Chain A
């Protein structure tokens, strides 16, 4: 059995600070980390691996990412925590990809692995993008069913996976036959720490770094060129209006607020 976990390198802080004087972004040495949702995805894969190992079956867990060359460091960290190997898609041809072009690149990466993939686990969304589109797009591209937003992996029994997820109305218990894509909520699990043996093994572990041509990606469908959406401008939003200040001593402010609250609720 083979599980692919898709991981994204994201800035360690998602807060972009603005310099109030120049109105420009304050840059600091933000180091990339594995998107926390994807860390949860890895943990779920490793739990399946452990369970199957107890039953005598080997499960291959491959971490897959599209990113800059430095992302290899993060994939090695995933291996130190228990993944078997990694595949990093790294090429300027992938730069500027929107979700459609990203899902295409990941699909090419999965198809380049040769062996059939039984389960793809993605974080529900990335903390820096918040789109939650990659998992469902990947499922569509691979033409396999998708369970988005898994909060608890109930069990994997043979080729049938059952899970619990949040819906608009409440919660739902669903099952699906593999192959499938699932996306997971951050609280579904906590990623384990790397073991010392894992860290040592990760140094020599296979992390393949592949270009777009290596995975036979159509250059018109990757990166900026393959992205239907395009950012035309990014800007600091203007304040819509000035808030009316409520001043005075704490007691005076409280009295004024109580009046405002009463008026607002009328």
Chain B
């Protein structure tokens, strides 16, 4: 039987599971002392009740025959190394290599970078990938990989992964990575966890524990892929620190090919490169505003403050949804992940998706009138007060 299981011997009928459930997926039946919890048809298997149960009476069971020998035949962690239009490896690939290196050291396995480029690309990226932590670079230079076509890349990675059997593949959660990874998952019939903020690996079993914000709100979920390999995850840029580059590290470069049968089916008619200066992703100073600024008419004040701080302006998702600011300003899980030296946060409550995007900030100063606002949990300095008053006072101080 698959499903949410409640051990009636252990269940004490306390009802904590019912309180923890957001979807009315579990209920109490019977009278004390014989009261016990029972899952309902509304259960979505989120696992909230499992964590809430004080006596470990609840579990999510699956009929799954994980063939231990088959699982053990997979080894090594792969990192997809996305390159930009100038042929540079994106920083997120280095960040992932750094984390993969740490996981591999505990697990005692190899780290491979997977690099696909156009036929004419110079061979400089391999060294960088090795310096960042790769033991091996699987590189293919083929004109069909010159333009980032997710289907072409997916078929290429699947062809590489089938005989080589990596136990995990990590991708940057870029626009391209988020299209590519599901294409690989469906072709290999394996699991994929989007936008992880924490990755841990069991050194014994190699089970990858992938933690991501869930339920659109204040919850984190830890997800595993117990019986399928490779285990796959995407991770937002800025979640992990960039590794130290060690140019003395040794690694191998293996040239691999792309099957002749793979033909791009999406034709690119043209493209425009966005103004990189407009990007908040690599701003050193950032002013982030949320619903707490009250009204759109306070935006000019915020822009003025941003200018005085020498900062770029970011915002939370509700402001973009209300049309106050454009999407490129949105900071968070579904917007841009940022890693500034200084982040001043005004009137931001701090939903977990937003917090997922500011983990890379070195110093966070938050102003909010709610002393319990979750943003304070991510802040180094806090001001409990009216963010407009604080903004005006700060502007005056900076001008004087």
Partner-B contacts on A (CB < 8 A): 11, 14-18, 20, 22, 24-25, 27, 68, 92, 95-96, 98-100, 103, 125, 127-141, 145-149, 162, 166-177, 187, 223-225, 227-237, 239-241, 243-246, 250-251, 253-255, 257-258, 260-261, 263-265
Q: Which residues of A contact B3 (CB under 8 A)?
A: 96, 224
29 contacts between A and B (CB under 8 A): A16-B215, A25-B19, A25-B219, A100-B189, A128-B215, A130-B353, A133-B181, A137-B186, A139-B151, A146-B183, A149-B179, A168-B175, A169-B273, A170-B272, A170-B273, A171-B272, A174-B267, A229-B191, A229-B223, A231-B60, A231-B221, A234-B221, A236-B218, A236-B220, A250-B389, A254-B396, A260-B381, A264-B362, A264-B363
CA distance A146 to B181 in the complex (A): 13
Q: By the criterion CB–CB under 8 Å, are B186 and A103 in contact? A: yes
- B50, B190, B383, B394: which contacts A233 (Cβ < 8 A)? B50
Partner of A11, one of B90, B216, B352, B385: B216
Contact A100/B192 with A145-B266, A173-B268, A231-B60 known, Cβ cut-off 8 Å: yes
Residue on B with the closest CB to A11?
A: B216
Q: Point out the residue from A17, A99, A176, A258 that lies within 8 Å of B217, measured CB to CB.
A: A17
Shortest distance between the CB of B25 and any CB in chain A (Å): 10
Task: Check if A24 sits within 8 Å of B19, measured CB to CB.
Answer: yes
B contact set with A: CB distance below 8 Å:
2-3, 16, 19-22, 24, 41-48, 50-52, 60, 62-64, 82, 84-85, 90, 148, 150-151, 154, 174-176, 178-183, 185-187, 189-195, 209, 213-228, 265-274, 284-285, 309, 327, 333-334, 341-342, 344, 351-353, 362-363, 365-366, 372, 376-385, 389-390, 392-394, 396-398
**CB atoms of A100 and B185 under 8 A apart:** yes
Are the CB atoms of B225 and A68 closer together than 8 Å? no
Distance (Å) between the CB of B235 and the closest chain A CB?
Answer: 13
For the complex, would chain B's binding face be called helix, strand, loop or mixed by DSSP majority?
mixed
- Residue picked from A20, A100, A234, A239, most chain B C-beta under 10 Å: A234
Contact of A133 among B192, B221, B380 (CB under 8 A): B192
CB distance from B362 to the nearest CB of A (A): 7
Q: Are A233 and B150 in contact (CB under 8 A)?
A: no
Closest residue of A by beta carbon distance from B59: A232
Whether the pair B215, A234 counts as a contact (CB closer than 8 A) is: yes
Report the separation of the CA atoms of residues A187 and B85 in the bound assembly, to the nearest whole angstrom: 26
Contact status of A253 and B390, CB under 8 A, knowing A20-B372, A169-B273, A231-B223: yes
Residues of A within 8 A of B396 (CB): 251, 254
Residues of B within 8 A of A263 (CB): 363
CB pair B397 A96 closer than 8 Å: no
B228 near A228 with CB under 8 A, answer: yes
Minimum CB–CB distance from A160 to chain B (whole Å) comes to 9
Q: Which of A137, A173, A235 contacts B271 (CB 8 A)?
A: A173
Kindly report which residue of chain A lies nearest to residue B237, judged by CB atoms: A168
Taking a contact as CB atoms under 8 Å apart, the answer to whether A245 and B365 are in contact is no
Question: A228 near B190 (CB under 8 angstroms)?
Answer: yes
Contacts of A131 in B (CB 8 A): 192, 194-195
**Interchain nearest-CB distance for B10 vs A (Å):** 17
- B381 in contact with A130 (CB, 8 Å): no
Which of B42, B353, B377, B385 lies in contact with A250, CB distance below 8 A?
B385
The reply to whether A246 and B381 contact each other, CB–CB distance below 8 Å, is yes
Residue in A127, A140, A145 whose CB lies within 8 Å of B216 = A127
